Amino acid sequence: MAKKIKARVLADVRIDGVLYRSDSAVLEIDVDVAKSFIKDGALDDSPAAVAYALGDGGLPLVKHVEPVVTEVQPTDDPASPVA
């Protein structure tokens, strides 16, 4: 299991297709997923930022879950919405 961290959302950001708005939550997220967003300044994983956001900031803790992608099999049925 990958290591999880907590990070405050500082800017509108889309992670794995999920939109998180600026200053709307503290995410519990895979460290490997969060790295580039922290580097870009969209997330802040500093203990002080997380503590403030969860305490005085009143932001909720949201567990980011990577979406499950299912493979769609091609079909020859002309009525099928997937061609």
| Overall pTM surpassing 0.85 (yes/no) | no
Q: pLDDT at position 80, please?
A: 63
* Single-letter code of the amino acid located at 33: V
Half-sphere exposure of 71 (CA within 13 A, CB side): 2
Virtual torsion, Cα 31, 6, 49, 41, nearest 10 deg: 40
Q: pLDDT at position 1, please?
A: 64
Q: pLDDT at position 82, please?
A: 57
pLDDT values of the chain reduced to their tens digit, one per residue, 83 residues: 689 999 999 999 999 989 999 999 999 999 999 999 999 999 999 999 999 999 999 999 999 988 777 776 776 766 666 54
